[in-house]
Amino acid sequence: MADTSTRRIDYKEIKNTLYGVLLKNGFSKEDADICSGLFTDTSLDGVYSHGLNRFPLFIENVRKGFVKPDKQPTLKQSLNNFEKWDGNLGPGNLNAKFCMDRAINLAREYGTGIVSIGNSNHWLRGGAYGLQAANQNCIGICMTNTMPNMPPWGGKKTTIGNNPFIISVPHKPYPVLLDMAMSQFSYGKFEILREQGKMLPMDGGYNKDFELTNDPDQILESMMALPMGYWKGSGLAIMIDMLVAVLSGGMTTSEIGELEAEYGLSQLFIALDTEQLSNVGLADRIIQSIIDSVNNTNPIESGGNVFHPGEQTYLRRLENEKLGIPVNPDKWKQITEL
Amino acid sequence: MADTSTRRIDYKEIKNTLYGVLLKNGFSKEDADICSGLFTDTSLDGVYSHGLNRFPLFIENVRKGFVKPDKQPTLKQSLNNFEKWDGNLGPGNLNAKFCMDRAINLAREYGTGIVSIGNSNHWLRGGAYGLQAANQNCIGICMTNTMPNMPPWGGKKTTIGNNPFIISVPHKPYPVLLDMAMSQFSYGKFEILREQGKMLPMDGGYNKDFELTNDPDQILESMMALPMGYWKGSGLAIMIDMLVAVLSGGMTTSEIGELEAEYGLSQLFIALDTEQLSNVGLADRIIQSIIDSVNNTNPIESGGNVFHPGEQTYLRRLENEKLGIPVNPDKWKQITEL
C-alpha cells in the first residue's frame, strides 16, 4: 500500500513529531508518549491506512471535540473477571490499550479476562491490542463496531458496520495475528486502485444499480462495499455489533450513524492466559505445528508463498525497522504542520 | 435444500425412530433421548445436512468405534470460570451439549464461563449449542476444528479445516444465531447443485488447474472448496484451530487429518450471562434496534427481504412444526433399517 513516491523516515523522528503535535493538542506527556508510539508502530508494521496516514484526521477529531484527550475511562461494573468501562469519548487507541491491559490483568488473576467499553472512539489499528495480549502470553480477542459503512447482505443501504475482529495467539519470534474488518476490501484500497487505474482481483462492492463489481471507481460512486464472504461477513458484522453494544451498554452502529461523525464506539477485549490455561511449551508446539502445516502447503503461484496470519506484517516490520518507515511526503508535510 | 421428492414426517415419529436406533447401538436411554432430540431439532430447523441426513454416517462411526456411545467427558482442569474437558471420543453432540451446559453454569456463578474440550467428535449442528446458551439468557460463542477440507489462501492442498464458528444472542421470540463454517459453501451444497445441473451464484472453489470456479462439478473433482472471504476465512479458520487446540490441549486439524476418519476434534464453548453483564430489558432493546436496522434495509431484490442471522432458520422451524419435517424417502428408509 506504500505509494511509489514515498520516502523512508526513522521511527524515532516520526514518533517525536507525533508526540509534539499531541502535546500541542491537549494530551498529557504520558498519553502523548503512548499514543504517538501506537501510531508509529502501526506504520512500522505496514498498516499504513491506520498509522501516520490517519493521524491528521485523528487530530481533526480532537480539535472538533469528538475525541477528548483529557478523558480517562471510568469503571461502570466489575464482576469477577469481567469489567465494563465508559470511555468518556477519550482517545480510542489509549482507551483500547487501557482495556486490553485490564483484560490481561484479569487474566493473570482469573485465567481469563473480559473487558467491554462503550462511549469510546475509533481504536485505529485493532491488531495493536491483539499484539499487546500475545506479548503477555495471552490469547487476545478484540472487536469493535463502527459507523454504518456496508449494506447487510441483500440490502440497498449501508446500515451495518465493517466491525473489525481481531484474534491473536502468543508465539515467538512474533505472535500469530488476524486483524480483519468485515468488508472484503477497505475504502482506502478502492482509492489506491482507482488512482492506479486498476481493478480489484474479485468483486468488492456494488455499482449504482446494486450489481456486484470489481471496479473501485464504481464502488466509490455507490459507497457500497461488499461484506467479506457475502452473507457470512454480513452476519458476523451484525453479531459483533450486538455483542459489543449489549456487553458495554454503549451505542450500536445504527445509533452511531445518527451522529455528525464517527464517535462513541462500543468495543470488547478478551484475554486468555495461555500460561495458566495450557502451558507455554505445549501451546508453542501446537501453534508451531499449525503454522508449519499452513506454510508448508504447496503454493498455487509458482515461486509464491502460503503465509499464516501475521507473517506478512512481521516481514514488513523487519524491513521498515531496517530501512525506515515509508511515508508519503505530502502526508508528512501535513503532519509536521499540524 | 429439501429435495423435491421429500415427504413430511411428524417430529415425534422421527425422534422415536432415531431413539430406537440409538438404543440398539449402545446409547443409554437418557443419552438416546438427548441425542435423538438434537438430530430431530436440527432437521426441524431446516439444517437438513446435519440432521437426519447425517444420522446414518453417525451410526456408522459408532459401529466403527470412532464415536463411543458409552463414554462421558472427564474433567482435566478447572480454574475459576474456565474448565477443560477430555471428550473421551464420546458422541460429539452429547459432549458439546454437556460443555455448553457447563459454560452456562459457570456463567451463572461468575458472569462468564469458558469451557474447552479435546478428544471429542463432530458436534453435528453447532448452532444447537448457541441456541442452548441463548435460551438461558446467555450470549453463546462456540468453535470447533475439523479434518482438513479447504486449502489455506494461496495454497494447492486442503491443509486447513472449514472450522465452524457460532455466535448467538438471546432474544424473543427466537434468539439471534450465526452458525457458519469457514468455507463459502458446503460440499453438500455442491452435490445438490450438481444434481440440479446448476452453477453456484459466485465462485465457491477451485478447478483442477487451481483456478477459481463456480462450477460445483469441477469443485467436487478437485475437492478444493474456497474459504469464505478468500484470505479472511482462511485466516479465521487457522486462528480457530489454534484457539481450540491450545485451550483444550487436543488435536489440530492437521493431526486429525492423519487419522483414518474425522474424530478426536477440539472445541471451545463460551457463555456470557446477559442478566448479570447487562440487564435483560436493556439488552432486549439494543438487540431489537439492531434487528430493526437490518430488517428495515431496503432490499435489492424487488419484493425480497433483508434477514438478520437466525431469522430464516426460525421461519423454517415454524413451517416444519406446522407441516412436519421434510424427509427424503430413501434416507428415511435407510434410517429405519439401521
Cα A176 to Cα A179, B152, B277, B285, B290: the distances in Å are 10, 15, 30, 37, 32
| Contact status, residue A153 vs residue A234, Cβ threshold 8 Å | yes
Flag the least confident range among A1-10, A96-105, B102-111, B194-203.
A1-10
**Distance, CA of A294 to CA of B328 (rounded, Å):** 39
What average pLDDT does this structure show over A303-328?
Answer: 97
For residue B5, the model assigns a pLDDT of 73
Q: Dump pLDDT digits (tens) for B117-146.
A: 999 999 999 999 999 999 999 999 999 999
Q: Dump pLDDT digits (tens) for A33-79.
A: 999 999 999 999 999 989 999 999 999 999 999 999 999 999 999 99
CB-based contact B139 A253, cutoff 8 Å:
no
- Is the interface score ipTM higher than 0.90? yes
**Is the residue at A35 inside a domain?**
yes
For residue A1, the model assigns a pLDDT of 46
Residues B2 and B47 in one domain: yes
Compare CB distances from A242 to B155, B287, B296 and report the shortest one's residue. B287
At position A317, the amino acid (one-letter code) is R
Contact map slice: B 125-154 vs A, CB within 8 A? 139, 151-154
B222 contact partners, CB below 8 Å, separation of at least 6 = B205, B206, B207, B208, B210
Contact map slice: A 249-268 vs B, CB within 8 A? 249, 252-255
**Domain span at residue A299?**
281-307
Cell numbers 433421548: residue: B33
**Distance, CA of A15 to CA of B129 (rounded, Å):** 48
For residue A4, the model assigns a pLDDT of 52
What pLDDT band is residue B2 in, cutting at 50, 70 and 90?
Answer: very low
**Is the residue at A20 inside a domain?**
yes
For residue B1, the model assigns a pLDDT of 46
For residue B4, the model assigns a pLDDT of 52
CB-based contact A309 B239, cutoff 8 Å:
yes
Tell me the β-bridge partners of A296.
none
Residues A296 and A321 in one domain: no
The residues of A that are catalytic are 50
For residue A265, the model assigns a pLDDT of 98
DSSP string, A203-215: --EE-TTS-EE--
For residue B280, the model assigns a pLDDT of 84
For residue A250, the model assigns a pLDDT of 98
Residues B55 and B2 in one domain: yes
Residues B290 and B328 in one domain: no
What pLDDT band is residue A279 in, cutting at 50, 70 and 90?
Answer: confident
- From A12's Cα to the closest Cα of chain B, the distance in A is 32
Task: Say what the pTM is.
Answer: 0.97
For residue A2, the model assigns a pLDDT of 46
**Is the residue at B114 inside a domain?**
no
**Distance, CA of A307 to CA of A297 (rounded, Å):** 9
Residues B48 and B32 in one domain: yes
For residue A178, the model assigns a pLDDT of 98
Residues A285 and A337 in one domain: no
Q: Dump pLDDT digits (tens) for A219-257.
A: 999 999 999 999 999 999 999 999 999 999 999 999 999
Residues A13 and A49 in one domain: yes
Compare CB distances from B80 to A81, A159, A290 and report the shortest one's residue. A81
Question: Structural domain tally of chain A?
Answer: 2
**Distance, CA of B336 to CA of B18 (rounded, Å):** 8
End-to-end CA distance of chain B: 24
Asked if residue B3 has pLDDT above 70, the reply is: no
Asked if residue A110 has pLDDT above 70, the reply is: yes
Looking up residue A318, the CATH number of its domain turns out to be: 1.10.1530.10
**Distance, CA of B35 to CA of B29 (rounded, Å):** 10
A125 contact partners, CB below 8 Å, separation of at least 6 = A38, A42, A45, A47, A50, A51, A93, A179
Task: Bin B46: left if φ > 0, else alpha if -120 < ψ < 50, else beta.
Answer: left
Interface membership of B76 toward A (CB under 8 Å): no
CB-based contact A230 B180, cutoff 8 Å:
no
Q: Dump pLDDT digits (tens) for B214-264.
A: 999 999 999 999 999 999 999 999 999 999 999 999 999 999 999 999 999
Closest listed residue to residue A121, CA positions, set A269, A245, A267, A264: A264
Cell numbers 508449519: residue: A292
For residue B331, the model assigns a pLDDT of 94
**Distance, CA of A304 to CA of A296 (rounded, Å):** 11
Neighbours of B217 (CB within 10 A): 14
At position A173, the amino acid (one-letter code) is P
Interface membership of A209 toward B (CB under 8 Å): no
**Is the residue at B266 inside a domain?**
no
Contact map slice: A 154-193 vs B, CB within 8 A? 154-157, 159-160, 167, 169, 176, 178, 180, 184
Interface membership of A303 toward B (CB under 8 Å): no
Residues A14 and A54 in one domain: yes
Tell me which chain A residue has its CA closest to the CA of residue B204. Answer: A229
Angle at A102 (CA atoms; ends A98, A106), nearest 5 degrees: 170
Instruction: Quote the crossing angle between the two packed helices B92-110 and B127-134, to the nearest 10°.
Output: 30
What average pLDDT does this structure show over A83-111?
Answer: 98
Residues A335 and A287 in one domain: no
**Is the residue at B48 inside a domain?**
yes
Asked if residue B38 has pLDDT above 80, the reply is: yes
**Is the residue at A292 inside a domain?**
yes
- From A79's Cα to the closest Cα of chain B, the distance in A is 7
**Is the residue at B229 inside a domain?**
no
Asked if residue A216 has pLDDT above 50, the reply is: yes
